[in-house]
Amino acid sequence: MAEIKVFDDSWPLSLKNGNGVLRREVWVDERERVVRYNLAYINHSIYRDDNGRVVGYDNAHGHHHRHYMGVITPVKFSSFEDIEEKFQADWIEFRGKK
């Protein structure tokens, strides 16, 4: 059975909240298990490479990984909810530094 995209959301951020865009894409299988995802904070004025992705998580290319200002590192996957929490923590930490 084919994957179904269940979330395709973008939230523009005000300058006060970091500017840029928060992006969330999620695909599920027939059992409604998350099989593919892309979570990203995009801001071309902070980082121009990697399509402006400042920080993000996805499982493209068959493995789970984190993007941070162009550096890609593998992440241990226990659940999609855990990945969302990691992304949220990274995003909040990054926003606090600015």
What CA dihedral angle connects 78, 54, 22 and 52, to 10 degrees? Answer: -130
| CB-based contact 67:53 (threshold 8 Å) | yes
Quote the pTM value.
Answer: 0.90
Here the tokens at position 8 are: 């395709």
Q: For residue 97, give the 3-state DSSP assignment.
A: helix
Domain that holds residue 75: 4-97
pLDDT tens digit sequence for 43-98: 999 999 999 999 999 999 889 999 999 999 999 999 999 999 999 999 888 887 75
Residue 98 is predicted with a pLDDT of: 58
Residue 96 is predicted with a pLDDT of: 74
Here the tokens at position 98 are: 């600015």
> What are φ and ψ of residue 86, in 5° steps?
-65, -45
| CB-based contact 41:20 (threshold 8 Å) | yes
The number of domains in the chain is: 1
